[in-house]
Amino acid sequence: MKAVQIVELSGPRDALRVVDVAEPEASHPMTPGSGVLVDVQAAGVSFPEVLQTRGQYQVKPEVPFTPGSEVAGVVRAAPDGAGVRPGDRVAAFCMLGGWAQVAVAPEFFTFTLPDELDFAQGAGLVLNYHTAYFSLAVRGRLARGETVLVHGAAGGVGTAAVQIARGLGAQAIAVVSTDEKERVAREAGADEVVRSDGPWKDEAKEISGGGVDVVIDPVGGDRFTDSLRSLREGGRVIVVGFTGGSIPEVRVNRLLLNNTEVIGSGWGAYVLGKPDLNREIGEAIDRLVRDGSIRPIVGARFALEQAADALELIDGRGATGKVVLDVAG
C-alpha cells in the first residue's frame, strides 16, 4: 500500500517520503493481537505531526515510521465484540500509521461516523472534538449558561471547542489573529470574536458581564496572565497546548486572590486506559453531531503525496479548521 513516512527528523519540508509498504495486521500496539482495520479515505494532519518531523513530540518512534494520528474510512475487519463491523463508515484514532491507505486502530478508539458528516469531516472528529469535550466538560466542569473564552479559535482544537461549548449550552467568545480566522471562528459558531492583538481581555470581561467562567488555551505563551485576569470568581483556565511556543508560568498568588483555577488537560494520556470513558465521550459527541452542534470545519485539503505542504501550512500559522489528506484521491 501507499504511505507517507517520516524518514529523518529534519522538519516538515524534508522529513517525509512517499513509500510502498506492507499493509498492517489487525493488531494495534495499544491492543496487541486486536485492532480494527480501516480502508482510509481521509487522514487528519495536526500540530503534533509538525513536532514529530523535528523529534519534538512526546511520542518519538524510531525513524522510519508512518505518522497520522486519526483517519476516517470504511472498516475492513473488526474484532469480535467491537462496536463497529466491516463496511461501517468510521472515524478512528490510530495514534500513528494514519497517513496510509490502510490503518489500524484500537476498538475503543473507533467510532461510527454519523451520516451527517463526510470522510474529511470525520478525519477531524476524534482528536479535536474528544479533546475539546474532555477539556471543557470533564476537566473544566463547564455548566450550561457559562461563558467560555477560546484561544486559537480558528484552529483545529479551537473550532471544536467553540462548537462543543455552544452545544453544551455555553456562550463562546473566540480569540483570533486575522480577518480570515475571524471568518472561520464565526463559521464555527462563535457568539463573539475578539482579536489577539487587541484589548481582548477587557472585551471578554465586558461581553461576559464581569469575567468569563472558562478559558480554553491551546496557545500558551505570554497571553496566559491576561487569561487569568479575564476570569470571574471561580473561573478556570484549561491548559491544552503551546502553539505559541513558550510554556507560561503562573504566579499562584493570583489564583488565591481571585479564587480561580488552572487545570491541565491531556486527553490522550488520560483516556488511553479508560475504554468506558472513550465510549462515553464518543456518545456525547454523537449526540452533538445529531443535534447539529458539531460540524467539523475542514480547511485546506491535500493529496497524500502533498503531506509536507500540509505540515508547512500548520507550521506557518496559516491553517484554519482541520487540515486533511485525501488518501483515497
Ligand X SMILES: NC(=O)c1ccc[n+]([C@@H]2O[C@H](COP(=O)([O-])OP(=O)(O)OC[C@H]3O[C@@H](n4cnc5c(N)ncnc54)[C@H](OP(=O)(O)O)[C@@H]3O)[C@@H](O)[C@H]2O)c1
Which residues contact ligand X by CB under 6 A? 46-48, 127, 131, 152, 154-158, 176-177, 181, 196, 218-219, 240-245, 265-268, 314, 317, 319
SS3 317: coil
CB of 161 to ligand X, least distance (A): 9
Give CA torsion, residues 42, 46, 52, 54, to 10 deg. 120
**Minimal CB distance residue for ligand X:** 155
Helices of type H across the chain: 47-52, 119-122, 131-133, 156-167, 179-188, 200-208, 224-229, 253-258, 267-271, 275-290, 307-315
Give CA torsion, residues 204, 268, 47, 9, to 10 deg. 150
Nearer to ligand X, 97 or 218 (CB): 218
CB of 15 to ligand X, least distance (A): 17
CB of 27 to ligand X, least distance (A): 25
Nearer to ligand X, 35 or 155 (CB): 155
Nearer to ligand X, 1 or 272 (CB): 272
Nearer to ligand X, 23 or 309 (CB): 309
* CA 147 – CA 140 distance, rounded (Å): 12
* CA 289 – CA 298 distance, rounded (Å): 15
CB of 134 to ligand X, least distance (A): 7
Nearer to ligand X, 24 or 48 (CB): 48
At a CB cut-off of 8 Å and minimum separation 6, what does 10 contact?
Answer: 53, 54
CB of 115 to ligand X, least distance (A): 26
Instruction: Give the distance from CA 280 to its chain's centroid.
Output: 18
